[in-house]
Amino acid sequence: MSFISEIGSSPLNGKVLGGTETHASHSAAQSAGGQDQSGSFSQIFAAALQRSTQSDLSSAYASFGYQSAGRMTDPAATMEGLLQSAMGSGEISEIETALFMLCSLMQSGGDNGFNPVLDILATLLSGLKTGKDELKKSVLGSEFSPYVLSVIDTGVFKSPIPPVLSETGAAIVPEEAWKPVSPAFVSNETDRSPERLRQVIDQFGVETSIRYQPYKRGGDTYCNIFLWDVTSALGCEIPHFVDPDTGLPRRYPDIKGAVELNAVATEDWLVRYGPKFGWREVNALTAQNYANQGKPAVTTAGDIGHVQVVCPSGDYNYDPVRGVTVAQSGARNTGYAYLSGVYSGSVMNKVRYFVHE
């Protein structure tokens, strides 16, 4: 069994680091000037972050009751040994565990050696009832490199990569499919309505834009690109480029080592990684209801390699015979169609639906 599956939500104890044993006699809540800050997650983190930024990692360890034999030269190996040796003691809380790993990740430079702990961190932090927003603000306002901060933002907080907004009043839609669009209209979980969703979809001109024109280079179509563009503007990106090891979104020009997702791989990503980014699988009725409320909903048909955006229906109802209403790029580009106008009945039965808040 791997250390990731073994740790679950077990907290760390204060036993091993660099071969030195020490008892965790001081909690992180007492690390800043000896004052009890246990009621404020953001204050606990701020103290640890300051130590990690201003000196080496040993100071951050000390703030959690650890002592280091020296500077950590192999962060990933030390972290694995620490986790394996520290399970089950209950001496340090889950919050402190998360902070400890986060400080280690930031100090390491965000190297790939820490990819395995991203999901652990995300799980720990997702269970917090208070303090998560303050923590995120503290992290993203720190002086670590943009690369490290982006790793933490997308890998730990599961934040979408925000699009660069157009300042012209109209979306900037490059012909090159690998380049991100710059939308003029965006939406997020606090700004959903059917009118806004329609506005976000329509700005890209799927029926006329050369970006989505099929067969420009042979047998190429661009359903996955249109899906990427719309969901990015909706603040819930279904990415085109991802890290092959973690599934984290990547964005041009930072795509060295990334893989591109075609329509089939996009469905695989939604199934494997989608829940970590707020996507969940539903039935057709739920997908249409979400779109009718202005919430993101998409379809996939992995067998034939096609994806679509579910859009608000004209009468705000769901027709089980004609299916959901969609906007799509593909062999046929359309801003509005019933699913039955795109697929045969046998294919419609294989379509999968995913929604986001």
Tell me, what CATH number does 208's domain have? 3.90.1720.10
pLDDT digit string (tens) for the chain, length 357 residues: 222 222 222 222 222 222 222 222 223 323 333 333 333 444 545 555 555 444 444 554 454 444 443 434 444 444 444 444 444 444 345 555 555 556 555 555 544 444 545 555 665 565 555 556 666 666 666 666 665 666 666 666 666 667 888 888 899 999 999 999 999 999 988 889 999 999 999 999 999 999 999 999 888 999 999 999 999 999 999 999 998 888 888 888 888 899 999 999 999 999 998 988 889 999 999 999 999 999 999 999 988 899 999 999 999 999 999 999 999 999 999 999 999 999 988 889 999 999 999
Sign of CA pseudo-dihedral 339, 341, 345, 350? negative
Rounded Cα–Cα distance for residues 262 and 89 (Å): 46
180 occurs within a structural domain:
no
- Among candidate residues 155, 172, 202, the one where a domain is terminated: 155
Domain span at 99: 3-155
339 occurs within a structural domain:
yes
In this structure, are 257 and 328 located in the same domain? yes
Inter-helix orientation angle 284-292/194-202, to 10° = 90
- Among candidate residues 91, 124, 155, the one where a domain is terminated: 155
In this structure, are 343 and 212 located in the same domain? yes
In this structure, are 65 and 214 located in the same domain? no
In this structure, are 13 and 151 located in the same domain? yes
70 torsion bin: left (phi>0), alpha (psi -120 to 50), beta (else)? left
161 occurs within a structural domain:
no
166 occurs within a structural domain:
no
In this structure, are 207 and 351 located in the same domain? yes
| Number of domains forming the structure of the chain | 2
Q: Where are the beta strands (DSSP E) in the chain?
A: 16-17, 20-21, 241-242, 249-250, 259-260, 280-282, 297-301, 306-310, 325-328, 334-338, 352-355
Count the Cβ atoms, other than its own, within 10 Å of residue 72.
Answer: 22
In this structure, are 198 and 149 located in the same domain? no
In this structure, are 134 and 236 located in the same domain? no
In this structure, are 207 and 144 located in the same domain? no
162 occurs within a structural domain:
no
